Amino acid sequence: MKSVLSRRSLLWGGASLAGASLLQSVSGSSVRFMNSAFADIAAPTTPIRMSSNENPYGPSKLAIEAMQGAFSEANLYGGITDQILELQASIEGVSPENVTLSAGSGELLQAAGVLAAWGEPGSIVAPYPTYGQLLRTAESLGTEIINVPVDESMHIDLNAMYAAIRPDTKMVYLCNPNNPIPSIIEKKALEDFIRTVAKDRLVFIDEAYYEYVDNPEFSSMMPLIAEGVNNLIVARTASKIHGFAGLRVGFGFAHPELIGKLNQMKTGSVSILAQYAAFVSYKDKEFQNYSRAMNKQGLAIVEGMCDELGLRYVKSNANFTFIETGIDSNVFRAAMREHNIMVGRTFEPFTTWARVSMAKPEEMMYFVQTYKKLYT
Ligand SMILES: Cc1ncc(COP(=O)(O)O)c(C=O)c1O
């Protein structure tokens, strides 16, 4: 696997650098920040959310229109679940029986956590740190969580994870790209891992951020679902690239028998408004491309600052970055909050790192300006 710690020497071009227009001058990864590069950006009147990996642009105009059109059906149970499952199946090259709809991927994570905890007490092997929702659910039901630290380049260490599996291990949870560290697992290594491990136990691949990945070493594990691999669950969410975090739409993909078990464990349902919105949003490539492009601009701004200041960070494959500020994360968060910026909470054991979600590019410029004012 390649190192993800980037120290690129980048060049930022353009003289008049105020507002989003300057971002046109970003070309590829060739960006450099200069202190004088942009005029003083005024503090925002409301806090900028760089804390929860949301999409500042969503939901799309088409999704909003679809919800407005669905108001008159809000008295009805059901919705258009079958059409949504068919649409997902056709997008992903699987059968509708391989798909389940959930209230955000969070509901699926919790259902899978219950499934893993079902029956005899056992364990789940997971990277550390990672996204904790499934793990917390299973742990609260008596499952032991075996945390496997990321390696020194902050990648998920598949060999160590394999070695940590015990006879009582019922599931291996992997988040790819990971969160809070936006690293990826190399595709061939992951595929081999799944083919071996899923013979005897469940493997859960959380692909919440997969739409943002622009890295040839990455692949979704969806083809293994299409192939019929048992014991594998792939999770997706509309919360990120579609900007649906408040609408609650997610998906699970697995063998039909496993889908049946997950369906028994689910406790929520997706409102008819959110269903109509999802149906159009997944077909709306333009909005997805726009979200991706703006995210890339935001990342170029923040990672450019890190390069300029020599701050260690993990090259992002998602809609957030993870930076070693060297400052206690609680102190850093409070300092940013005073400037109307909300950044992520502390992620053990990286207590002097900050997770910064991508807001709009001009807002990321304000973040850079604030960071430089406070710490350079
Ligand atoms: C890796 C990962 N998985 C799942 C989720 C849950 O998202 P949602 O329940 O909104 O689909 C998140 C949320 O941030 C996440 O980061």
Residue with tokens 């291996």: 172
326-371 pLDDT, tens digit per residue, is 999 999 999 999 999 999 999 999 999 999 999 999 999 999 999 9
CATH code at position 354: 3.90.1150.10
Report the pLDDT averaged over residues 246-257: 98
Centre of ligand 1 from the C-alpha of residue 111, in Å: 14
What are the residue ranges of helices labelled H in the chain?
Answer: 61-70, 81-92, 104-117, 133-140, 158-164, 187-197, 222-227, 256-265, 272-281, 285-309, 329-338, 361-375
CATH classification at residue 99: 3.40.640.10
How far, in Å, from the CA of 245 to the mean position of ligand 1?
9
Which atom of ligand 1 is least distant from the CA of 105? 11
Domain count, the chain: 2
14 within a domain of the structure (yes/no): no
Taking 3-state DSSP, the helix, strand and coil percentages for the chain, each rounded to the nearest 5, stand at 40, 15, 40
Supply the pTM of this predicted model. 0.91
Distance 105 CA to ligand 1 centre (A): 6
Q: Is 245 in the pocket of ligand 1 (CB under 6 A)?
A: yes
The DSSP secondary-structure symbol of 44 reads: P
Say if ligand 1 is within 6 A of residue 106 CB: yes
Q: What is the DSSP annotation of 278-316?
A: HHHHTT-HHHHHHHHHHHHHHHHHHHHHHHHHT--EEPP
Is the CB–ligand 1 distance for residue 179 below 6 Å?
A: yes
* 281-315 per-position pLDDT tens digit: 999 999 999 999 999 999 999 999 999 999 999 99
**96 and 228 together in one domain:** yes
Q: Is 14 left (phi over 0), alpha (psi -120 to 50) or beta?
A: left
Tell me: pLDDT of 150 over 80: yes
Residues 294 and 235 reside in one and the same domain:
no
Check if 317 has its Cβ closer than 6 Å to any atom of ligand 1.
no
Q: Is the pLDDT of residue 23 over 90?
A: no
Q: Does 212 lie in the same domain as 314?
A: no
Task: Read off the pLDDT of each residue in 320-325 and give the average, rounded to a whole number.
Answer: 98
| Domain match, 205 and 85 both | yes
- The CA-based diameter of the chain, rounded to the nearest angstrom, is 65
The reported pLDDT for the residue numbered 50 is 98
2 belongs to a structural domain: no
Give the confidence band of 27 by pLDDT, cuts at 50, 70, 90: very low
- Classify residue 111: in a domain, yes or no: yes
Which of 232, 258, 281 represents a domain boundary (last residue)?
281
Are residues 136 and 239 part of one domain? yes
**CB 276 near ligand 1, within 6 Å:** no
d(CA 43, CA 25): 24
pLDDT above 90 (res 21) = no
- Residue 115 included in any domain: yes
Q: Is the CB of 51 under 6 A from ligand 1?
A: no
Residues 250 and 307 occupy one common structural domain: no
Same domain, 198 and 214: yes
Span 210-217, average pLDDT: 97
The mean per-residue pLDDT over the stretch 65-73 comes to 97
Looking at the fold, whether 106 and 229 belong to one and the same domain comes out as: yes
pLDDT at 30: 38
Q: Is the pLDDT of residue 17 over 70?
A: no
The answer on 42 and 53 residing in a single domain is: yes
Let me know: does 274 contact 88? Beta carbons within 8 Å.
Answer: no
Which amino acid belongs to residue 3? S
Q: Which of 279, 311, 290 is nearest to 67 (CA)?
A: 279
Phi-psi region of 232 (alpha: psi -120 to 50; beta: other; left: phi over 0): beta
Q: Residue with the nearest Cα to atom 9 of ligand 1? A: 106
Q: How many CB atoms lie within 10 A of CB 309?
A: 15
- Within-domain flag for 338: yes
Residue 29 has pLDDT above 90, yes or no: no
Domain boundary among the residues 248, 264, 281 is at 281
Domain presence at residue 158: yes
Q: Is 319 in the pocket of ligand 1 (CB under 6 A)?
A: no
Please tell me whether residues 52 and 68 are part of one structural domain.
no
95 and 38, same domain (yes or no): no
Tell me which of 253, 281, 309 is where a domain ends: 281
342 phi and psi, to 5 degrees?
-100, 120
Range of the domain at 298: 20-58+286-375
* Same domain, residue pair 245 and 344: no
Q: Which residue(s) pair with 99 in the sheet?
A: 253
pLDDT value for 28: 37
pLDDT at 278: 98
198 lies in some domain: yes
User: For the chain, what percent of residues have pLDDT higher than 90?
Assistant: 88
Q: How confident is the model at residue 78 (pLDDT cuts 50, 70, 90)?
A: confident
- Predicted pLDDT at 96: 98
Return the SS3 of 10. Answer: coil
**Does the pLDDT of residue 232 top 70, yes or no?**
yes
Q: Which atom belonging to ligand 1 lies closest to the Cα atom of 131?
A: 1
Confidence check: pLDDT of 19 > 90: no
Across the chain, mean pLDDT equals 91
The pLDDT, as a whole number, for residue 37 is: 53
User: 40 versus 53: which is more confidently predicted?
Assistant: 53
**pLDDT higher than threshold 60 for residue 140:** yes
Any domain includes 166: yes
